A and B are shown apart, each in its own frame.
Chain A
């Protein structure tokens, strides 16, 4: 289940960043992957659609969002949490 979530997120980000999924490593930041602010908003939308979840994210204050976008690892962890909350 967790691996599945991870690979689905990686596929989404890879598509957005025009990379191969294995290039999307856990410690990579969106910036390092070449994803700008609009690309990030697009990626978050794609993740919401993929998992049918609602991600709390305001582009004006990303650091204050409950959704930590520091790197791929934190994004994956946050999505896993939201998916688990939805299942609960």
Chain B
């Protein structure tokens, strides 16, 4: 009976794959190029970022090592009317350095950040997408607010200033898929291209889907990650309403934590099939080995430990790892009362005794919460852990919380060899997405 069922399921899955135009997984041809489950291996061959800690990966990782904080007094129009006046703003940002006048007219800040990060990632990968490769490559990005600055500026113009005309590019600038589209145009990525919006889990959902596409053979190379540029009057004012923001600092897992601090920026990665990367002798930063998502189906803002646990355990299983192999978790770690204790409970449940041996840190204490872009910037801490053997700390940690009794790597980076890591993201709306990486 069950045999028949699984046969039927296998047939249905094969048919579905054919319907979707996806090649069936190949049978292993040479050892090491396919996973044990017969699917293709996926590796990261390029990384780029801009965030409050720096305008590139090198500076960001230096900040992670030093435990440097990017959170400062916010600077933008009408900030004095906000009750929350701190944030992790990209420092020394002048788009003129990177873009010409016409591009600045067309690119919202979240697109500018994305393009900058994507250029760094593609440059590092050494890939060119002319010809056949471009047809087999795509881009999936996460963002929650999209062109929020563009909305804000133009609402101000029409409502507050009473203007009756807006710039013709308002719509192409503010749409959530603008960044993904410009990345596809910039590099000639002609395969799957779209944007995922799942609030604080957007980047992880995006990267998880990109991973699945390369793994399944639907694409050879995918650019993925995410971006957010919500630090403007309307963006912060909206968050104030929920009363979950800190007025002074982001202190994840610390008993005296009092809320989250918003950040901005982008992270973009090149996900490539191992076979393709190996054939061209590319430098491999890490292997993406697993991804899982779950939905709490419970509450629009309060997180659930069970939902988070299912995503964590799911990613470990998808990766074919034993929980004991996971040495580090980059936490969602927002610094709110609710998230941090729920996340620690989820980790404890997913790992059992091993929860006391692994390290878990929240880099949001340094780069703030980039909302839809946060998982991408946090993946850099995972890559640093695997490649450099340096675990980014949770800074601003002051008082132990019995409800967060894990090794949160307080205040100082730590040297450690880890073979496998996870990156957690748990969004408002109860949407969870966890990615697993392994050292190559």
B-contacting residues of A (Cβ < 8 Å)?
Answer: 36-38, 41, 44-45, 54, 57-61, 64
Contacts and interface: CB of A to CB of B under 8 A. Distances in A.
Contact of B244 (A36, A45, A54, A60): A60
Interface in B251-280: 257-259
A57 B300 CA distance: 20
B166 interface: no
Contact of A38 (B246, B247, B259, B300): B300
Nearest to A65: B243
Nearest to B247: A58
A75 to B, nearest CB: 15
Contacts of B281: none
Given A38-B300, A38-B301, A61 B258 contact: yes
A54 B83 CA distance: 10
B302 A59 contact: no
Nearest to A62: B337
Contacts of A54: 83
A55 to B, nearest CB: 9
Interface in B57-92: 83
Nearest to A55: B243
Which of B83, B243, B245, B302 has the most chain A CB within a 10 Å cutoff? B243
Contacts of B245: 58
A44 B258 CA distance: 18
Contact of A59 (B243, B247, B257, B300): B243
Contacts of B299: 38
A29 B208 CA distance: 43
Query: SS class of chain B's interface: helix, strand, loop or mixed?
Result: loop
Contacts, number: 39
A33 B212 CA distance: 47
Contacts of A58: 243-247, 258-259
Nearest to B300: A38
Contact of B242 (A36, A59, A64): A59
A59 B257 CA distance: 11
B198 interface: no
B336 interface: yes
B302 A38 contact: yes
A44 B301 contact: no
A61 to B, nearest CB: 5
A63 to B, nearest CB: 10
B241 A45 contact: yes
B171 to A, nearest CB: 32
Contacts of A45: 241
B301 A60 contact: no
B336 A60 contact: yes
Contacts of A36: 302
Contact of A60 (B83, B257, B300, B302): B257
A61 B301 contact: no
A59 B244 CA distance: 6
